[in-house]
Amino acid sequence: MNPTRIMLSAVMYLVLSALLFAQNSGMKPLPFEDLSAFQSQSGNWQIVGDVMMDPTVDIHAQPPLDKKKKKKSEAPLRPITSVSGTGVLLNMPDDDKKSHLVTNWEHGDIALEVEVMIPKGSNSGLYLQGRYEVQLCDSWGVKTARFSDIGGIYRNWEQNPETSYMGKAPLVNAAKAPGLWQKLEVVFKAPRFDASGNKIANARVISTTLNGVKIHDNVEIPRPTGGPLVNDEVALGPIMIQGDHGPVAFRNFQYKLIGDLDIRMEDLNYEVHHGPFETESEVKESAVVKSGSISALTYEVAGKENEYGIVFTGKLTVPETTDYFFDMVYGGIGNLKIDGVSIGDGWGGLSASTSLQAGSHFIEVVLFKAQSWVRSSLSLVVSTTNSYPVALHSFSSSPPGSNLVPPILIEPKSEVRLLRAFLDFKGDRSQRLTHTIGVGEPDRIHYIYDLNAGNLVCVWKGDFVDATPMWHDRGDGSFRPIGMLQYLFSGPSLAVLDAPGQGFPSSSTDFISKGYKLDYASRRPTFLYEYKGAEVSDQIVPDEEAKYFIRKVIVSNPRPNTYLKVAEGRKIELLPNGWYAVDDKQYYINIQSGQVPSVRSIGDVKELILPVDTTPIQYSLTW
């Protein structure tokens, strides 16, 4: 291998695999307009426009027997309904029709993302190359994930220890409730073979993310898992979706085929300058204290940790004419030029792209650092929309994790934990909420409440919060929820609406927070506030199994036309069981206190609202 072509090690793949999705991803949709992308099947697979799955009915449930007539007293339960149209792939197997679905195209290395919906009690699987199963099943509420839970890499059934594979459980269970859309993202590296066809490297799942939570990180799969299309290993194979176990639906399937990038940096030279430089011109106008040639970029040629400048020049050879993405991270100020044109510069790092013709190009990298409190480092990673990242720096110049701060994690171990902080709503700094409080449960179900608006703004399961942004160094006052996060909506949830089309205010001068009171036994808070003369108490607690939240709101002396906004989203649907599926089936609301809700449109947003009187309001929120 050419020493200037530093292909990423397995560790570096883990650090940089997110770049595949951070850039112009180049994902290709697998259209669900018809079944032409797949081989023939027995009829259990169909294309529909939408699907609903009752989360309370197990697919294996049967009506009770009429003991007198010795037969079932009702028609078979139907937990799944669909409407005609396109865009959703649905499997409805029965005793006669239960074939697997196999693509008529093959893949090697691949990145894919898809939304999947699974009814209660169902089971399916997505087979990479038709041989390595990523499990798809209803795992909602499972405390300790196993290989057989959603996202797990399934085992095989070999009894011989030399050929058996016991599978790989997800790092955490990030499953949503049955009948909700769940997003699965996988980056897969196919097995490698030599010229004689001998396997020289096992297949790997570089990463798997479920509902925004990483559940696999660089997992080796030494042999096919149970139930493969063919029990061998190949360089190319089709996607196979299991069709004989239970119903399952898919939508928004996207993928891209990935390959290694044959990019080389050659004839690399460097010049070192010493001094407290503030501009690139100062660096280049100063004396050269050291120069030479080198095989890869590294700040270490500076010979010191501070007050230096380095100018690297060389030849960058790219294999094809396409867009190339450059990600450079460094301590200090940097500039990246190709063929004499700067494609990116700035403090601490840069991300840039440019179209390059196949062949060789002149590359120049300038780095200078004057601040002693900045850690020295230099990395340059290049990729295309269909390649793995390639590092053009030495490992020692930017070891994985070298620029990371050890996280400050807060966990409620034996009792409920409360923490005041800022929240960047939906991860957006421009939507920062400045009066929020996180409430964490030992059973790993948590929420954040906006004390400035009397509103439940997000819920999640898993670990509690990362307080590093708040407490590290000077901090910025914010924390980050950790786990399978569901944002709800921001702004007040209680308002007087004097006209049918009047929207809820984004803030309210009539809102007066009165803090919260703690239950002595449980240490759970009840939030108190006043709104236009009405006294409000707001309590949020998990159910007995810690699978969902129950919210109870009591309003005394409310004005006429007072309403509580319970949910908002692009789409709100009433299910046959009386629940509401919110934001195109991202979470459920179940009104338990008898009020008659209404769904209304405010612009492009749907709102689920309840009329408020002195009757307590109670509903559950399930995700």
Higher pLDDT: 92 or 9? It is: 92
User: Which of 349, 370, 397 is where one domain is finished?
Assistant: 397
Contact 549, 459 (CB under 8 A): yes
Q: What is the pLDDT of residues 286-295, one digit of tens each?
A: 999 999 999 9
Mark whether 209 and 306 lie in a shared domain.
Answer: no
Mark whether 208 and 273 lie in a shared domain.
Answer: no
Mark whether 474 and 340 lie in a shared domain.
Answer: no
Q: What is the pLDDT of residues 134-157, one digit of tens each?
A: 999 999 999 999 999 999 999 998
Q: Mean pLDDT for the chain?
A: 92
Residue recorded with tokens 């692009």: 570
Contact 329, 348 (CB under 8 A): yes
pLDDT of res. 76? 52
Mark whether 427 and 559 lie in a shared domain.
Answer: yes
Mark whether 372 and 446 lie in a shared domain.
Answer: no
Please give the structure tokens belonging to residue 597: 């809700």
- Per the structure, the complete domain to which residue 276 belongs is given by 261-397
Please give the structure tokens belonging to residue 155: 């085992």
Q: In the structure, what pLDDT confidence band is assigned to residue 269 with cuts at 50, 70 and 90?
A: very high
Q: In the structure, what pLDDT confidence band is assigned to residue 68 with cuts at 50, 70 and 90?
A: low
Q: In the structure, what pLDDT confidence band is assigned to residue 439 with cuts at 50, 70 and 90?
A: very high
Contact 389, 383 (CB under 8 A): yes
Q: Look at residue 19 and tell me if it is in a domain.
A: no
Domain count, the chain: 3
Residue 315, beta-bridge partner list:
266, 362
Mark whether 430 and 569 lie in a shared domain.
Answer: yes
| H or E element at residue 15 | helix 10-16
Q: In the structure, what pLDDT confidence band is assigned to residue 8 with cuts at 50, 70 and 90?
A: very low
Coil, helix or strand at residue 567: strand
Q: Look at residue 591 and tell me if it is in a domain.
A: yes
User: Which of 203, 228, 257 is where one domain is finished?
Assistant: 257
CATH of the domain at 569: 2.70.98
Please state the separation of Cα 18 from the chain's center in Å. Answer: 11
Q: Look at residue 69 and tell me if it is in a domain.
A: yes
Q: What is the pLDDT of residues 448-475, one digit of tens each?
A: 999 999 999 999 999 999 999 999 888 8
Mark whether 306 and 390 lie in a shared domain.
Answer: yes
pLDDT at 236 exceeding the cut of 80: yes
Mark whether 349 and 457 lie in a shared domain.
Answer: no
Mark whether 119 and 238 lie in a shared domain.
Answer: yes
Q: In the structure, what pLDDT confidence band is assigned to residue 65 with cuts at 50, 70 and 90?
A: low
pLDDT of res. 14? 39
Mark whether 78 and 190 lie in a shared domain.
Answer: yes
Mark whether 513 and 535 lie in a shared domain.
Answer: yes
E-only strand ranges, 472-614? 480-481, 484-487, 494-496, 511-518, 525-531, 534-542, 549-556, 562-569, 572-574, 580-582, 587-591, 598-602, 605-611
Q: Cβ contacts of residue 126 below 8 Å, gap of 6+?
A: 114, 133, 134, 136, 184, 186, 239, 240, 241, 242
pLDDT of res. 410? 95
Contact 390, 318 (CB under 8 A): no
Q: What is the pLDDT of residues 369-407, one digit of tens each?
A: 998 888 899 999 999 999 999 999 999 999 876 656 788
pLDDT of res. 69? 56
Q: Look at residue 94 and tell me if it is in a domain.
A: yes
CATH of the domain at 116: 2.60.120.560
Q: Look at residue 17 and tell me if it is in a domain.
A: no
Q: Look at residue 21 and tell me if it is in a domain.
A: no
Q: What is the pTM of this model?
A: 0.88
Q: Look at residue 404 and tell me if it is in a domain.
A: no
Mean pLDDT lowest for which of 18-32, 342-356, 523-537, 545-559?
Answer: 18-32
Distance (Å, whole) CA 585 – CA 623: 9
Mark whether 304 and 359 lie in a shared domain.
Answer: yes
CATH of the domain at 352: 2.60.120.1560
pLDDT of res. 564? 97
User: Which of 231, 257, 283 is where one domain is finished?
Assistant: 257
Cα distances (Å, whole numbers) of residue 205 to 52, 96, 221, 258? 31, 34, 8, 13
Q: What is the pLDDT of residues 9-43, one digit of tens each?
A: 333 433 444 444 444 478 999 999 999 999 999 99
Q: Look at residue 379 and tell me if it is in a domain.
A: yes
